[in-house]
Structure 1
Amino acid sequence: MTTKAWPCPCGGETYATCCGELHDGVRQATTAEELMRSRYSAYVRRNANYVFRSWHPRTRPTNVDDDSPVFTRLEILDVVDGGEDDTEGIVEFRAHFMDDGMTGELHERSRFTRKAGRWVYLDALPLE
């Protein structure tokens, strides 16, 4: 079985028909949530290039490395706007991970915006 037939890390059916198309540039994310899920999958698959490309140039670091923890599960907690007709959106999520044998979670409320017609990650909002 090729990696494209594996379940998508974000929870989609298969990687090929879900985040794989976004990572390969076959199509662009149509919603902020879809971009967020694809970025999570890129971290899982250690695709730092996609993470970098999907980050707003004004807020992204100069370099994105691929030595993040091993992400194991994604939970979407809230989505505000970010639809096909929106220009901004927020996605709150928990990304569970393992790091040096310890479990943990990244809880973030991410802001997304459209730049040149495509969704990009802008930054994280403070959690209340």
Structure 2
Amino acid sequence: MTGPAEGRPDIAGTITFFYYDDLDAAVRWYREVLGFEPYFNQDWLVLLRITPGQSLGLVDAVSGSQRPVPGRNKGATLSIETDQLEQWHDRLRAAGSLGPDDGFQPGCRGRTTEFRVCDPGGYFVEFFRWIAPPPPP
């Protein structure tokens, strides 16, 4: 018997897509507040590199295969693992992107310390650091 990844074709990277009524505001926020740089830019789609092999795709409300989900629960969260949690918190505070309840919280049933912010389209962006990490892959 083989493991689930054994014999699996290679994966070059992943892209998570978020959909926006105001694409320009989302692109500005991810560039100016988080510092993500676009590497592909069309009038309806912007791809931003997060780390090598991991990207975020920002798509306008009408040109992509999906549509923005109305309301506060978008059904998706961008989770960013970092050992520099306090520095990210300071950066977001300085940019005016923290709300009154955006302090550090326990997460993942006590395995992480985290905080969340909302981007201009209402998607949660979560920053976290492991306290008790899962076993290595």
Fold shared per TM-score above 0.5: no
TM-score, length basis structure 2: 0.26
Greater helix fraction, Structure 1 or Structure 2: 1
- Bigger Cα Rg: 2
TM-score, length basis structure 1: 0.27
